[in-house]
Chain A
Amino acid sequence: MKPFTYVLPQTLAEASAAAKQPDTVLKGAGIDLIDRMKERLQTPAQVVNLLPLHKEMAGIAVAADGSVTIGAGTTLAMLEQHAAFATPALAGLRTAAATTASPQVRNRATVAGNLLQFTRCWYVRSEAFHCLHGGRGPTCLAMTGENRYHAVLGWQDCVRVHPSNLAPALLALDADYTTVLGDKRTTRKLRDLFPADPRAQNPEHTLQQGEIVTSITLPKQPEGTITVYGESREKETFDWATTACAVRLVLAGGTITAADLVLGAVAPVPLPRPQAAKLLVGQKPSSELFAKVAETAYAGASPLTHNAYKLTVGKAVVRDVLERASKGMS
C-alpha cells in the first residue's frame, strides 16, 4: 500500500467536503478497495472512511407509506436478518444479500459498497495486464483471451461483468438511490447509477467525484408481489455468480399482472430485460411460458470463446427463478 491521508469524518458534511478533493476515494467496509490498494491497482492520495457515519448512513426504515429506506452503510448481514425483508415482496433482496460472499464479509460489507464494487475481471484487476479498461492498453484482453467468467450480453469494447448480487434484486424492485454532492441532495432511479453505455473507458458507475450514496429506497410493492433472486455458481461457499437473475411478479387470481426481470453477472452492467418481462404480463404461469421468457432474456447474446455455457446455465436460472416465484417459493 502507498501512504495516503485517512479521513474519519464525524458528519456527512465533513465527508462530503473531503470527498470533493482530488485523488480521493470513498471507503465503506473496504472489502474491495483495500485489496486493490494493497495490490497498488489503486493508489489514492486520500481515503475517506464512511463507516464512522453509521448513525446517519446505516439502518433500515419502513415509512408510513410502505416504502423502505436502506442506509448506504447498512451491512448485508442486516439486510439478511431484518424483518422488513421477510415478506415475499422483498425476499429476493434478502436472498441476494444472503448468498453474497461469506458470513464474515456480509457482517462487514455495505449495500453501497456492493453496488459500487469494481469488476472482478482477471485482466482488469492485475497490474501485469494493460487492457482497454481505463485506457491502460489498446484492446480488451479477455475478449480474445480467457473469458469463461465474462460477458455474454450487452458488451461493446470491454467484456467485464458487473459482480453485484444486490443490483439485479434492487433494480427488479424499481429502487431509487439518493446521493449528496456538496450540500446538494439528489434522488434518482437506481438504473441511472450504472452507465447506459458501459464501454471500457467509462467507470463502473455514474457518480461524480465527491458524490456520496447515502441511501436506497424501495417503493411500496403492490399486493400479490413476490420477488425471487437466483444465481448459478461453481461452488456454494464464497463464490461469484456465473449468471444471476432477479424477478418481480405481481400475481392476481393466478394471473401475472406485472413483471420485472433483471440479469446479473452476464453483462458489464446489471441488465434489465423488459422484453422478456413483458411476455409474462397477462399470462398464467407455465413451464412453456418460462422457457420462452428465458430465451427472450438471453436474446441477442454474443457469447465469447469460452463462455457459451453461460447461455444454457443463465436460461436455466431464469426458468428456475420464475418457477419458484410462481409457486410462492422465495
Chain B
Amino acid sequence: MSQHPAQDPSDGVEITVGYKALPGQQDRFEKRTVEPKTGDPLPWDANTQFQVVGTDVARVDGLAKASGRAKYAYDITFPGMLHGALLRAPIAKGKLKALSLDEASAMPGIAAVVALKEVGNKVRFVGDAIAAIAGVSQHAVRDALEKVRAEYEAEEHNVDYNVAEGAPLLDANGQVEDAWPEAKEIEEALGKAAVTHTGTYRTEVQTHSSLETHGGVAKWNGQDLDFWMSTQATFGVRGELARALQGRGIKVGTVTIHAEFVGGGFGSKFGAGIEGLACALLAHAAQKPVKLMLDRFEEHTTTGNRPGALMQARAGVDKDGKLVAWDWRSFGHAGFSGQGGSVAVPNYYAIATKPRREHKDLAIDTDPPRPMRAPGHPQGWFGVELFLDELAAKAGIDPLAFRLQNDREQIRQDQWRFGAAEFGWEKARAHQNAADARWRRGVGLASARWGQLGNQGRPAHGATCRVHQDGSVEIRSGSQDIGVGLKTVMAVLTAEELGAPLAAVNAIAGHTSDPSGPAAGGSMVTPSLAPAIRQAAYRAKLQLREMVAKHLGVPVGDVDCKNGKIGTGTAQLPWAEACKLIGPNPIDVRGERLANFEKPFHATQCGAQFAEVEVDTWTGIVHVTRMFGVQDCGLVIAKKQAESQVLGAMIQGVSYALHEQRIMDKRSGRMLNGDFLRYKITGPKDLPELRCHMHSIANGHDSVGAAGLGEPPSVASAAAIANAVFHALGAPVRHLPITPDKVLAALASKKA
C-alpha cells in the first residue's frame, strides 16, 4: 500500500489484516475494507514494510534512568521546600474522639498543620489519615507528629476473611462446605457427565509494591498549583485535586500535573489520594513548596492492593473431554468499603450448558483494594486453570489436549500448538519422577486474554508534534509513562511516520499542559494514543513535504520521507537539510485520536504461557526453572519494550505464585509484613529462564492497530506455575502463594 492517501478514501480502502503463520502453523490473513477519515493517514496493515516499528530499539529514556538524570517526583526539590507527613490511626475501627494539634504546631520548625478528620469521624482501618504536618525536615515533622493529641473510641474490628460477614464455611482442608444453591440444568448436566470435579481455590492479598511510593511535591503560585506527582493518571488527579481543594474553600486557578518519570503504579496511582490533597493543603497553608511522599509501611497499608479471592468450581466433561457443565462462585477479599474484590474468569472455554458464575465481596476493616495489573484476572485464572487441570487429570486427558478440545479462540489454538512445540511440552510432560525422588519436576500451562483496542472517548485524546529547523522533533503527550515504555513507543511511531532518524525525536510525556491522554490503566495508553501520535507526525510530514517539494521543484505527490531522506528519485534532501527549510517557527501540529474502524480482525488479545518447576519434596521449596510465553498485542511497535512487558509480567507472576501475601495481625488489625523484609518479592536469584514470543497481529482497527499489552501477560503466569506444581507433586496446592508449608501439606495429604 502507498504511503499516501487515496484521492477519496471515503470510498474505502482495502487492507490486509491477520497474521503470518506462527512457526509450524498457518497464515491467518483476511481482507477488510475500511474508511479512513479525511486528514488521517492510510492505515498500516499486514503488508506494510516498516523501517523502525517492530525493531529492537532501546528504551529512549533508559540512560537517563540508569544514570539518575531522570527526575522522579521523589527527586524534585526547591529552595525552602518543606517536608510533610501524615498522622495515621493506630486502630482498625472506631471514631476519632479528640484531636488537638496545638502542641504539634508549636514545635520547632513546623510551618503548617492540617486536620484531615474531625472529631466524631469514623476510623476505618489502621492507617486512616488523621492529620498532616509540614516542617523544615522529616525529623522535625516526626517529632511534631508525636505531639499530636489524638484519642480514639475503638470498636470491635475484624481483619480475617474466614469470619467476615457472608463468608462461606470451610472444612479443615479449606474447602467450601456450604451447599451449592439450586441449579437444575447444571445438576442435570453434571449427572450425565462422564467425569465431574469440584474444588476450592484461594489467593491472598497482594500489594502493588511500586518502587516509588505515592506522593509528590506541591508548589503554589498565587491560585495556580503545580504538582510533581507520582501518578498514573495526570488528567484524572488534576480534576480530583481541583475539586477537593475547592471543597475546602480554596480558590484554585490552574492545576498543572507533572509526572515525567514515575516509579511504577500497577493500578494503585489513579488518584491523588489523601496524601496528594494533604500535600497541596500544607503547601497552601505554608505558602511554600511541600514534598510529601509515603513511607513503605504506608505504601503497603494505605494505597490499595490486589484483593484475595476464595473461589469454588464444579464442572463435568463428557467422554470426549468436552465441558458439559460449569458452576462457579467466588468471594472477593475487599476492605472496609466491601467493594472492589471482583474476580474475572475465562469466557472462551466452550461449555454445553449455560454456566453459572456468582460473586460477592466480603468486607473487613482494612484499606480497600485498588485495580492491580489485570484486576481480578490472575486470581480467577489461577482458580479456573488449576481446576481444569485437576478435572483433565481425573478424565485422563493431557492439559494441552484439554485446552485444544475446549478453547474456542482460533488465535490461541495457534498459540497453544506453537507454544507447546517451542517449550517442548510433550517431552517435559512425559517426564516421570521416580517415586522416591527428592526433587520432582513438573510442567504446566495456562491461557490469557484481554480486550483493549483504545479509548476513543470524547473529547479526543491527542498528541503534539513539533519539527524544528535544527532537525529535532518533539512528540508530546500529557499522558504519563509509568515505566512501561510509552516514550519509546511515541518516538518509534514518530520516526516511522516522518522518516526521521530515531535519535532526532524527543518524546515528552506527563505534563497536563500537553494534549490529553488516558490514565495508564486497562492497558489503554498505547492503543489510545498511537493513532493520535501517528496522525500528528503525519500532519507534520505533509507540511515538510510541501516545503521540500517547493525547494526541489518537484510535485509534492512524488515526495517521500523515508530513512532520513526527503524527496524523490535523485532529488533528495537529508533530514537535517530538509528541516533547515522550516525556519525559526517550528512545524507545530496536533494529532487526534479518531474513532476505530468497524470490524477489527479480533476484539480481544490472546496469550498462552508455559512453566516448568522443580520442587524439593524434603523442604517444600518450589523453584520455577523456565517459562515461555506467547502474547498478542496487535501491532508490536517497540519490540524490546513489548518483550519487557511480557517478561516483567512473568516475573511478577512468579512472585505472586510463590511469595507475595499480606499478613495481618488479627488483634491489632495491623499489617505485620508492611516492609520489604517480610513482604517477599521474587528477586534475581529466584528467576527462571524466561523467554517470550511477540505474536504481532495486523488488527486493522485504526491507522496503527496497536492493542493493549500491560495487563494481558500477567493473567496466566501464576496459573501456569500452579499447574506445574500440581504436575510435579501429583497433588494440587490450591492456595497461593505456594509456600513450603502448603507444599508439605499437599504431599502429606497425598500420602494419607
By a beta-carbon cutoff of 8 Å, the part of chain A in contact with chain B is: 1-3, 40, 120, 122-123, 126, 128-129, 141, 145-146, 148-149, 232-240, 242, 306, 309, 312-313, 316-317, 319-320
Residue of A123, A141, A313 near B619 (CB, 8 A) is A313
Which single residue of chain B is at the shortest CB-CB distance from A310? Answer: B741
Q: How far is the CA of A234 from the CA of B679 in the complex (A)?
A: 11
Contact in complex: B684, A237 (CB < 8 Å): yes
Contact in complex: A235, B683 (CB < 8 Å): yes
By a beta-carbon cutoff of 8 Å, the part of chain B in contact with chain A is: 90, 139, 142, 616, 618-621, 658-659, 663-668, 670, 672-673, 677-678, 680, 682-686, 739-741, 744-745
Known: A146-B663, A242-B740, A309-B741. A234 touches B680 (CB 8 A): yes
Residue of A239, A240, A306 contacting most chain B CB atoms (<10 Å)? A239
Residues of A close to B616: CB separation below 8 A: 316
CB distance from B142 to the nearest CB of A (A): 7
Known A236-B683, A306-B741, A309-B740; 14 more pairs at CB < 8 Å: A120-B678, A122-B672, A122-B678, A123-B665, A129-B668, A233-B621, A235-B659, A236-B685, A237-B686, A312-B744, A313-B620, A313-B744, A320-B618, A320-B619
CB distance from A97 to the nearest CB of B (A): 16
Residue of B90, B739, B740, B744 contacting most chain A CB atoms (<10 Å)? B740
- For the residues of A in contact with B, the DSSP-based class is loop
CB distance from B736 to the nearest CB of A (A): 13
Residues of A close to B685: CB separation below 8 A: 235-237
Q: How far is the CA of A128 from the CA of B663 in the complex (A)?
A: 15
Residue of B142, B677, B686 near A236 (CB, 8 A) is B686
Contact in complex: A145, B619 (CB < 8 Å): no
Which single residue of chain B is at the shortest CB-CB distance from A128? Answer: B670
Contact in complex: A40, B740 (CB < 8 Å): no
Known: A146-B665, A313-B619, A316-B619. A237 touches B670 (CB 8 A): no
Minimum-distance CB pairs A-B, first 3: A237-B683, A316-B618, A309-B741
16 example contacts (A-B, Cβ-Cβ < 8 A) are as follows: A120-B677, A120-B678, A126-B670, A141-B667, A145-B665, A146-B663, A146-B664, A146-B665, A234-B680, A235-B658, A235-B686, A236-B685, A237-B683, A309-B740, A309-B741, A316-B619
Residues of A close to B678: CB separation below 8 A: 120, 122, 149
Which single residue of chain B is at the shortest CB-CB distance from A309? Answer: B741
Which single residue of chain B is at the shortest CB-CB distance from A1? Answer: B139
Which single residue of chain B is at the shortest CB-CB distance from A317? Answer: B619
Q: How far is the CA of A1 from the CA of B143 in the complex (A)?
A: 9
CB distance from B366 to the nearest CB of A (A): 15
Contact in complex: A40, B619 (CB < 8 Å): no
Contact in complex: A128, B90 (CB < 8 Å): yes
CB distance from B97 to the nearest CB of A (A): 19
Residue of B618, B621, B664, B683 near A319 (CB, 8 A) is B618
Residues of B close to A129: CB separation below 8 A: 665, 668, 670
Contact in complex: B740, A232 (CB < 8 Å): yes
Which single residue of chain B is at the shortest CB-CB distance from A231? Answer: B619
CB distance from A110 to the nearest CB of B (A): 19
Residues of A close to B618: CB separation below 8 A: 313, 316, 319-320
CB distance from B318 to the nearest CB of A (A): 41
Residue of B659, B677, B682, B739 contacting most chain A CB atoms (<10 Å)? B677
Residues of B close to A236: CB separation below 8 A: 683, 685-686
Contact in complex: A145, B740 (CB < 8 Å): no
CB distance from B154 to the nearest CB of A (A): 14
Contact in complex: B659, A234 (CB < 8 Å): yes
Q: How far is the CA of A306 from the CA of B659 in the complex (A)?
A: 17
Q: How far is the CA of A300 from the CA of B139 in the complex (A)?
A: 48
CB distance from B339 to the nearest CB of A (A): 26
Which single residue of chain A is at the shortest CB-CB distance from B621? Answer: A232
Contact in complex: A148, B90 (CB < 8 Å): no
Which single residue of chain A is at the shortest CB-CB distance from B654? Answer: A235
Contact in complex: B619, A235 (CB < 8 Å): no
CB distance from A213 to the nearest CB of B (A): 25
Contact in complex: A122, B673 (CB < 8 Å): yes
Residues of A close to B684: CB separation below 8 A: 237
Which single residue of chain A is at the shortest CB-CB distance from B618? Answer: A316
Which single residue of chain A is at the shortest CB-CB distance from B673? Answer: A122
Residues of A close to B683: CB separation below 8 A: 235-238
Known: A40-B142, A145-B665, A309-B620. A239 touches B744 (CB 8 A): no
Q: How far is the CA of A239 from the CA of B680 in the complex (A)?
A: 8
CB distance from A161 to the nearest CB of B (A): 13
Residues of B close to A149: CB separation below 8 A: 678
Q: How far is the CA of A146 from the CA of B671 in the complex (A)?
A: 11
Residue of A123, A145, A316 contacting most chain B CB atoms (<10 Å)? A316
CB distance from B130 to the nearest CB of A (A): 15
Residue of B618, B673, B745 contacting most chain A CB atoms (<10 Å)? B618
Residues of A close to B620: CB separation below 8 A: 309, 312-313
Residues of A close to B90: CB separation below 8 A: 128
Residues of A close to B663: CB separation below 8 A: 146, 148
Which single residue of chain B is at the shortest CB-CB distance from A308? Answer: B741
CB distance from B268 to the nearest CB of A (A): 23
Contact in complex: A313, B740 (CB < 8 Å): yes
Q: How far is the CA of A313 from the CA of B658 in the complex (A)?
A: 17
Residues of B close to A313: CB separation below 8 A: 618-620, 740, 744
Residue of A120, A148, A306 contacting most chain B CB atoms (<10 Å)? A148
Known: A313-B744, A320-B618. A235 touches B665 (CB 8 A): no
Q: How far is the CA of A120 from the CA of B139 in the complex (A)?
A: 25
CB distance from A99 to the nearest CB of B (A): 10
Q: How far is the CA of A313 from the CA of B619 in the complex (A)?
A: 5
Q: How far is the CA of A238 from the CA of B678 in the complex (A)?
A: 11
CB distance from B575 to the nearest CB of A (A): 45
Q: How far is the CA of A2 from the CA of B685 in the complex (A)?
A: 37
Contact in complex: B740, A234 (CB < 8 Å): yes
Contact in complex: A237, B682 (CB < 8 Å): yes
Contact in complex: A235, B680 (CB < 8 Å): yes
Which single residue of chain A is at the shortest CB-CB distance from B88? Answer: A128
Residues of B close to A3: CB separation below 8 A: 139
Residues of B close to A233: CB separation below 8 A: 621
